[in-house]
Amino acid sequence: MKTTVKWNNVFILFHMKTQYNLELGKKQVQDFCNNIQIWFNGTAVNQEHLYQQIVNTFNPAFKLVNGDGDIIGFSMLAQWLKQVYGQFPTRLVSFQNLKGQATSHHVLLSYIEIQSTGDIQTTRKASAIFVIKDNKALWYQLIEQWIN
Q: 81-131: per-residue pLDDT in tens? A: 999 999 999 999 999 999 999 999 999 999 999 999 999 999 999 999 999
Which contiguous run of DSSP H or E holds residue 101?
strand 92-102
Cβ atoms of 140 and 59 closer than 8 Å: yes
Region 25-31 average pLDDT:
97
Cα 123 to Cα 115: distance, rounded to the nearest angstrom? 7
Whole-Å CA distances, 137 to 21, 33, 60, 100, 119: 7, 15, 13, 13, 34
Q: Which pLDDT score is estimated for 32?
A: 97
The pLDDT-based confidence of 14 (bands split at 50, 70, 90) is: low
The pLDDT-based confidence of 33 (bands split at 50, 70, 90) is: very high
Q: Which pLDDT score is estimated for 2?
A: 52
